[in-house]
Structure 1
Amino acid sequence: MKRYNFDEDHNMFRDSFRAFLQQEVVPHREEWREAGIVPREVYLKAGEMGFLIPQAPESLGGLAIDDFRFQQIISEEIGLCGETGFMPQLHSTIVAPYIMNNGSDFLKEKYIPKAITGEYILGVAMTEPDAGSDLAGMRATAVDNGDHYVLNGNKTYISNGICGDVFVVAARTDPTVPHAISLFVVEANWEGFKRGAHLKKMGMKSQDTAELFFDNVKVPKENLIGVEGQGFKYLMGGLAEERLICAIWNVGTAEYAFNLTKEFVQDRKVFGKPLSAMQNTQFKMAELRARLDMAIAYTDTLVANTNRGDHDSIGASQAKLLTSELLCDVADEGVQLHGGAGYMEEYPISQVFADARITRIFAGTSEIMKLIIARAIFSE
């Protein structure tokens, strides 16, 4: 599908980032999967090239690119090459904005410059064993103790949990109020901060995921993000872009899976003809192609609206819902059309299938997306 929303600067940026991925990421994918983690060096190299937090102001070391299309390109290209370990969009588009949009000048100046260079790898710690999408069920607490807060609790399923240096941590500051949550910037080297198990997962094996424990961690008052008790508002404010960037990555990865399958069915012979000559194959691929192009058009529209200042949380929820289902469908049909080969790990489509499943869960489950959309329908 021809796309008209990118100009020469965008295309040059895309070419540069794609070349970076092909040189620094794709050749190392298997060793990273075996290790269960991406090396720090790749973040440092990305930082040198200006690929981390490009929206940050020049005063902090960023490129001051106030155009969400550049972040869209990064997320798309990560998906288009099938990468699920090195996830700079988590670092740049999901975590960094909590500090940049709501944090004090002190927090921005202390943490953002080193996050731009890749010296600090960022993560966000919200999910708990008994509180995922239901943030009101959060149990971690941060108690005011004069010149600092005392943070206690544990988090689980935290991306960048092993390699991360700095985390945005959500905790209750008033246990009597369900949504009185505050956000803090916490350094992994502080006393009382402990990493738990390096969790083994169905897919996305090179994206390190861990439990985090906070045992009487002293958090300086200046490391509170924004206003105490307003963390829930900040989290909700960031979810539109988080879900949109997830949707963009879903579409890029679905395109990658589609291309893997297209190549396979053209090469595979069945009854003396290419599998692609079979009507069933053609119909399956035609349906997926139509859905892919519709998803691309919708996410492009949401990105354009974001650039106009319209952070559409309902639209982002719809995009996240439909693209995660689309990705899982493309991966599933891809495995089916590969036949027995699709079940073998040596074929990339099998890895896409395993990696894709989490997209219907993270950043809000498909059920939560439906609930948000339904509420919007019936509140009109």
Structure 2
Amino acid sequence: MDFEFSEEHKIFQRTAAQFAQKEIAPLGAEYDEKEEYPRQVIIKAGELGFLGIPYPEQYGGTGPDTIALCLFVEEVSKADAGIGSGLVVQNTVGTSPVFNFGSEDMKQRYLVPAIKGEFVGCFCLTEPNVGSDVSSIEMMAKEDGDSYILNGSKLFVSNGLMADYAIVAARTEKGKKHEGMTLFLVDTQSPGLTRKGLKKLGIRAQDIAEFSFEDCRVPKENLLGELGKGFYHLMSTVQKTRIIVGAASVGLAKAAFDTALRYAKERRQFGQPIGKFQGIQFMMADMAMEIELASLLVYKAAWMNDRGEKCIKEASMAKLNASEMVNRVVYKALQIHGGYGYMREYPLERYFRDARIMEIFEGTSEIQRVIIARELGL
């Protein structure tokens, strides 16, 4: 048993940290305020090879390597969770269905430019009436000659406004739940597709949109995977994505912890640094312990995934534990700052807002508990 990262992973982590602190951290507060995504970050990440971590070299990638992807996500989320989220989508659900289920032509036309940072991808699943119950999607795709006609709406589409293409889950057969769903790749400039941005509590730099499809025509060659097997295609990818969200939670928690630790050493009250008071020490000790525990779960699940092992339970545990942990950590970090933590000139209130989504997207905490219980045989 070895708890050390390989030398290659250590070098990669240092490189990712340098990129994140140079290219992302200085933009976090500004783009949170603007509620815009700095697309130049995706372009830069592509130039440096950070968008091909899960993919083989033949497409311009450097992987596949789940541990490296977790290290990257942890560092960019530590720099800013909102901007980091856009890079997470580009490395996961915005590209993985093309790699896993697309034709070679689709990989060359969409995956390769996405890995370079020239294209941005997004994933359209959630609907106004459909959230956790993925098999109940209502959006229809009707066959029409050499095309499918898409009608319906999608919500909470990450990278939605800046996306050049969208991976869309639609129902190709009524009356069937799991069996009637199919995945399509849709050019976002297609006639019949309109988009609008959504206002959010946190990760405000992240671009999240609502999509409306009205008689949007998609060529049959843009079908991803097998007809009617979209639900199963999706389920084959969520294991890794949940691990990645766990890594993002760890990164954000470390940002809050580091800020609180520095403040506890510098802020003086009653003639000494507040970090000398046992009440603050206990909070910092609990935060450090929780981050370490969550990190161990995340990287164990990543290690299992890289070995090709089934880790549905471990992935859900990693996501659940880390996402709830980061909310506890940022709460305490803000409390240590007192009134200053509540002010927008300090990053704590941004961390506080950003953390909340971690328990919601990529499967809520409640859904993770359902999955874990099922994997236990209950």
TM-score when normalising by structure 1: 0.95
In structure 2, what residue type is equivalent to 1:188? T
Q: What is the deviation of 1:70?
A: 1.6
8 Å Cα contact 1:61/1:116 also seen in 2: yes
Q: Within 5 A, what are the aligned runs for 1:1-380?
A: 4-63=3-62, 65-86=63-84, 87-179=86-178, 180-196=180-196, 198-379=197-378
Partner Cα distance (2:320, 2:53) in 1 = 27
What CA distance in whole angstroms lies between the structure 2 residues aligned with 1:79 and 1:85?
Answer: 8
Letter in 2 for 1:240: Q
Amino-acid identity (%):
37
For each residue in 1:246-283, what CA deviation from the matched residue of structure 2 results, as whole angstroms up to 9, or x when unmatched? 00110111111111111111212222221111111111
- Is the 2:182–2:229 Cα contact (8 Å) retained in structure 1? yes
Is this contact kept in 2: 1:261–1:334, CA < 8 A?
yes
**Matched residues in 2 for 1:295 and 1:135: separation?**
27
Distance apart, 1:177 and its partner CA: 0.4
Deviations 1:338-372 (A, max 9, x none): 11111111111111001101111110111111111
Give a deviation string over 1:294-343, Cα, whole Å, max 9, x none: 11112121111111101411111111111111000001111111111111
Distance 1:121 1:99 in 2: 12
- Say if 1:106 and 1:222, in contact at 8 Å, map to a contact too: no
The 3-state SS of whatever aligns with 2:161 is coil
**In the TM superposition, what is the alpha-carbon distance from 1:46 to its structure 2 partner?**
1.2
Residue 133 of structure 1: CA displacement? 1.0
Deviations 1:2-21 (A, max 9, x none): x8442222222222222222
What stretches of structure 2 of length at least 5 have no aligned partner? none
1:80·1:255 contact (CA, 8 Å) conserved in 2? yes
**Greater CA drift, 365-374 or 77-86:** 77-86
Q: 1 CA distance for matches of 2:223 and 2:279?
A: 57
User: Taking structure 1 as reference, are residues 55 and 127 closer, same or farther at Cα in structure 2, changes over 3 Å only?
Assistant: same
User: Any conservation in 2 of the 1:26–1:83 contact (CA below 8 Å)?
Assistant: no
> Do the aligned partners of 2:298 and 2:319 also contact (CA within 8 Å) in 1?
no
Q: Any idea what the Cα deviations from partners look like across 1:102-160, whole Å, max 9, x if unmatched?
A: 22222212211110111111110101111111112311111111211101111111111
Deviation track 1:56-113 (CA, whole Å, cap 9, x = no partner) reads 23332223x2322221111111122234224312111233111111222222122111
Residue 166 of structure 1: how far off its partner (Å): 1.1
The whole-number CA distance in structure 2 between the counterparts of 1:294 and 1:31 is 32
Partner SS for 1:25 = helix
| Superposed CA RMSD | 1.5
**Could you tell me how far apart the structure 2 residues matched to 1:256 and 1:39 are?**
20
SS in 2 for 1:353: helix
- 2:239 maps to a residue whose letter is A
